[in-house]
């Protein structure tokens, strides 16, 4: 199916956000419920409920079993295109324009809205390495050598284990201060880290680039590594 550029251009901004989040939750293997959409977007449940009704009414989403949200074929094409363009915009900002890593997610929100298939192709031609966003999330539609099923969260590592930081889930990207902390402490995809200790409250002490860094329980669930032997 062709990329729906005209339909994307006319799509309500709030519905864009809902579609992207639903796609991301599905991509991460999570159950897609209104409560999870509400939590990720930081919106009141009543607001999300109205948004979902619009998505259903316009043929982008279906509700299964009374609670679970599922993208229709039309909704999936739109959602995948939105996520693809957002992540390509992030790569353009970081790799080509030299924007700092922790800023690219927020700035890409505007760039993705004006992207066309021609711009997508031009960005892809200039990218090196794995086709992911700067935070390690895959660019939809592009083949990757990463074994996504083998990834595991830092929260699942044992003391003494080593892993290659590969992916930060989308929850992390929504918090500017968290991204800045991660960048300043070099907790970015491509860095090798070792779990040194786990505190009683679940805080992880990691060795990264020759220094120790603390990581709270929520972040430890959202940072995923490729295990090292």
State residue 114's pLDDT score.
85
pLDDT mean across residues, the chain? 91
State residue 10's pLDDT score.
76
Q: Which domain holds residue 184?
A: 149-227
State residue 12's pLDDT score.
84
- Bridge partners, residue 204, by sequence: 198, 215
pLDDT class of 13 with cuts at 50, 70, 90 = confident
**pLDDT single digits (tens) 111-170:** 988 888 899 999 999 999 899 999 999 999 998 888 888 999 999 999 999 999 999 998
Instruction: State the Cα angle at 76 between 102 and 60, rounded to 5°.
Output: 110
State residue 2's pLDDT score.
47
Please check the confidence at residue 23 and state whether its pLDDT lies above 70. yes
State residue 174's pLDDT score.
85
Q: Residue range 223-227: average pLDDT?
A: 95
- 8, 74: one domain: yes
- 96, 77: one domain: yes
- Using the 3D structure, point to which of 96, 111, 145 is the last residue of a domain: 145
- Using the 3D structure, point to which of 103, 121, 145 is the last residue of a domain: 145
The CATH number of residue 59's host domain is: 1.10.10.10
**pLDDT single digits (tens) 45-88:** 999 999 999 999 999 999 998 889 999 999 999 999 999 999 99
- 122, 188: one domain: no
**Alpha-carbon span 85 to 115, nearest angstrom:** 7
The CATH number of residue 200's host domain is: 2.30.30.90
- 119, 158: one domain: no
Q: What is the pTM of this model?
A: 0.90
- 140, 168: one domain: no
3-state secondary structure of 212: strand
Please check the confidence at residue 229 and state whether its pLDDT lies above 80. no
State residue 1's pLDDT score.
43
Please check the confidence at residue 5 and state whether its pLDDT lies above 60. no
- 205, 135: one domain: no
- 102, 41: one domain: yes
- 102, 166: one domain: no
**pLDDT single digits (tens) 187-198:** 999 999 999 999
Question: 197-202, long-range: CB within 8 Å, 24+ apart, which pairs?
Answer: 197/159, 198/159, 202/155
CA dist list (Å): 29 to 23, 25, 41, 148, 149: 10, 6, 18, 11, 10
How many domains does the chain contain in total?
2
């Amino acid at each position: 199916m062709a990329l729906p550029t005209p339909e994307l251009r006319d799509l309500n901004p709030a519905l864009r956000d809902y579609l992207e989040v639903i796609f991301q939750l599905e991509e991460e293997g999570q159950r897609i419920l209104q409560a999870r959409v509400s939590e990720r977007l930081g919106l009141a449940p009543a607001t999300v409920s109205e948004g979902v009704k619009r998505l259903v009414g316009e043929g982008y989403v279906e509700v299964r079993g009374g609670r679970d949200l599922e993208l229709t074929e039309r909704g999936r094409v739109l959602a995948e295109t939105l996520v693809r363009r957002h992540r390509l915009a992030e790569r353009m900002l970081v790799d080509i324009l030299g924007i700092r890593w922790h800023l690219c997610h927020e700035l890409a929100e505007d760039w993705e809205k004006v992207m066309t298939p021609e711009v997508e192709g031009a960005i892809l031609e200039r990218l090196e390495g794995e086709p992911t966003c700067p935070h390690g999330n895959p660019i939809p539609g592009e083949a990757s050598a990463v074994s996504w099923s083998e990834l595991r969260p830092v929260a699942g590592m044992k003391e003494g284990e080593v892993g290659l930081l590969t992916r930060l889930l989308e929850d992390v990207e929504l918090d500017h201060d968290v991204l800045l902390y991660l960048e300043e402490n070099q907790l970015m995809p491509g860095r090798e880290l070792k779990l040194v200790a786990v505190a009683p409250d679940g805080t992880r002490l990691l060795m990264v680039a020759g220094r120790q860094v603390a990581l709270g329980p929520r972040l430890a669930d959202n940072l995923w590594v490729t295990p090292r032997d």
